[in-house]
Amino acid sequence: MIRFSKNEHKKFFISLSKFKKKIFKGERTKRLSKKVELLIKKEAEKKKTSVSVIDFGCGSMEISKKIQHNKFIKKIIGLDIFKSNYRYKKLQYHNYKNLNDLNNFKSDIVILVDVLHHIGVDKSHLVLKKLSKSSKTLIVKDHFEHGYFSRQLLRFIDFYANYAYGVIIPKKYFDYKSWKKTVKKSSLTENYFEKNFQQHDGLFNLILNKRHHFISVLKR
């Protein structure tokens, strides 16, 4: 794995990345937040009450910021390994050091947006098992690779998106077979699966089209 440390150009690369996403329609949160919002709403309707959410590997909580205003969401707890102290109306952020720290948090739903491949395909089932003790429902968005070229494309996009944040770039990603194996090893039931989710528009969708994205809802 490759780890990129912080450097003096961090702010510049973040600004440049945001500019390119705006120009070439690479903003991923618009479609993605609506999909996550819909899946959470369905769970809230089943429970007939507002729900609490853990945003695992939340980063800057970009998805949570977009969905927090819905009445069916009671609160959102963001969890990540980076230190921060920001707070919003319904949002809380907590730093965790290892998986045992997750015992301190409970929620109705956990969302994992493009997180598992950074943890590692072969280790993901352990994280899912641990998180399922905190919540009965897990909503996962992640990537599928389709051969060597597809894998390197995903690695390049990950490098581009995370260069300024010091995030680990994985050596491989899920494919359909390895994802189903991960679900089985986690002892969870997959209640919903969307194989080809279109995350981007414009040029970004041509580069990294919908076959590279999937969404799954897992139940304990």
In this prediction, residue 160 carries a pLDDT of 76
**Using 50, 70 and 90 to split pLDDT, how confident is the model at 2?**
very low
What would the mean pLDDT of 125-152 be, rounded to a whole number? Answer: 95
- Place 100 in a pLDDT band, splitting at 50, 70 and 90: confident
Give CA–CA dist 59/62, Å, rounded.
8
pLDDT by residue (tens digit) across 116-129? 999 999 999 999 99
- What is the pLDDT at residue 22? 53
Please determine, for residue 6, whether its predicted confidence score (pLDDT) is greater than 60. Answer: no
**What percent of the chain lies above the pLDDT cut of 70?**
82
Domains detected in the chain: 10-219 (3.40.50.150)
What is the spatial order of strands in the sheet that 137-143 belongs to? 91-95, 73-80, 51-56, 109-113, 137-143, 213-219, 189-194
Supply the angle between the helices 176-185 and 124-132 in degrees, to the nearest 10.
40
Q: Comparing C-alpha atoms, which of 186, 53, 30, 196 is closest to residue 111?
A: 53
CB 118 within 8 A of CB 108: no
Q: How confident is the model over 16-72, as pLDDT tens digits? A: 455 455 544 556 688 899 999 999 999 999 999 999 999 999 988 889 999 999 999
Given this model, what pLDDT does residue 4 score?
39
Choose between 80 and 19: higher pLDDT: 80
Work out the mean pLDDT of the chain and round it to a whole number.
85
| pLDDT at position 208 over 60 | yes
